[in-house]
Amino acid sequence: MQTELIEKAANPQATEPMHMRLIGARLFHLLRLIRESALPVYERELGYKEIHRQLIIMIGVSGGLSSHEIVTLTGHEKAQVSRAIKPLEQAGLIERERLRAKLMLLPAGRRMFDRIMAMMRVRDGALTDGIAAADLKRFAAITEQLTVQAANMYGEERRLSVEAGVISACAAQQGLPNWPESAKPPPTTLITPKLISLVAYLKRSAMLSYQRTHGLSHFQWQVLAMIGEAPPVPLAQLILLMGRDKSQVGRTVGNLEQAGLLTRSRPTRRRDILLEPTEKGAAFYESMHDLALRREETLWEGQVDDARAFYVEMLEKLTANAGDMLEKAEAAA
């Protein structure tokens, strides 16, 4: 007990819940709040999904990008980007002279870009309300540095996953992502696009890592982590916390139960179903807990000592503002 107290005193971060200790988890939560408050507005005004808006923004800000450069900068899968490009070309918003040429905005795409940017500037102002300009500049710089590091982590994880047989030979032939000099992160002062790129790389890297080491998908790991951190967890509460469709959470819980990682019980007929890890599930959680912390350490390699504390403080301010934005959006709806 005394040893534990000494460790906690030396590392206050160790007393925080797992979802608060990981920058990735904080970022996922922040983006979820931003998206939930923005979706009704953007879909009503523009009628396009988030990835379509992201492509319009990046092409507009950069002056033109190839599909490979978009994949590199956003962290999205190649097939996902290809699917998103097609309807934008069909709608006459973007074009390219040939398959591998840079995508450029057409006049209609430029008008769409101007509308999106105007809306984003308003939302970004609300998101960063009360934060000093110097702090925002430092936060943006660290985010770009972390994105490069996260891209490198994803490249290394792909290499390991190829060796472990998690990625097919066909995928391996596509090569690992790089950070081309011709496609530096878009020089925008807006915060949200930078966060989206960072989260995309962290998510893709984590998905491969958890699949390679434990045979679990990223969402399965999230569910197991949420239950393993403070069991037992009511199923209804889990659905609320995960922010996903009830059927998706239910299927994932069922899969984890079949794998011998979770058990469910109903203390009384009137009580909600309770979920808790089995002995095997608890061991999985501890192992993946350690893996997540090691990945966190790798993400912050090369940063100055106070960078993480500053970044967490900024994320807390942004999350509070994003929560206010969501409340206002729900009230308006």
* pLDDT-based confidence at residue 170 (cuts at 50, 70, 90): low
The Cα–Cα gap between 191 and 90 comes to 30
- Dihedral of CA atoms 292, 297, 303, 308 in degrees, nearest 10, equals 60
pLDDT the model gives residue 159: 86
More confident residue, 29 or 315: 315
Give pLDDT, residue 155: 84
CA distance 239 to 226: 11
Q: Is the pLDDT of residue 264 over 80?
A: yes
Domain ranges in the chain are 16-215+278-325
- Fold type of domain 16-215+278-325: Arc Repressor Mutant, subunit A (1.10.10)
When the pLDDT of each residue in the chain is averaged and rounded to a whole number, the result is 84
Greatest CA separation for the chain:
68
Judge contact between 104 and 64, C-beta under 8 A. yes
Confidence check: pLDDT of 104 > 70: yes
Q: Any idea which residue has 């951190």 for tokens? A: 229
pLDDT at 116 over 50: yes
H helices of the chain, in order, are: 2-10, 18-21, 23-45, 50-62, 67-74, 78-90, 107-127, 133-164, 169-173, 191-214, 218-229, 235-242, 246-258, 279-299, 307-332
**Contact (Cβ atoms closer than 8 angstroms) between residue 192 and residue 120:** yes
Nearest to 202, CA basis, from 140, 141, 146: 146
pTM over 0.95: no
Would you say residue 131 has pLDDT above 90? yes
Q: Can you say whether residue 165 is alpha, beta or left, with left for phi > 0 and alpha for psi between -120 and 50 degrees?
A: left
Convert the pLDDT of each residue in 57-103 to its tens digit: 889 988 888 888 887 666 677 888 899 999 999 999 999 988 788 99
| Token digits of residue 314 | 């900024």
Cβ neighbours for 55, distance < 8 A, ≥ 6 positions apart: 70, 81, 84, 85, 88, 94, 103
- pLDDT, one tens digit per residue, over 193-249 is 889 889 888 888 888 898 899 998 878 888 998 898 889 999 988 888 777 778 888
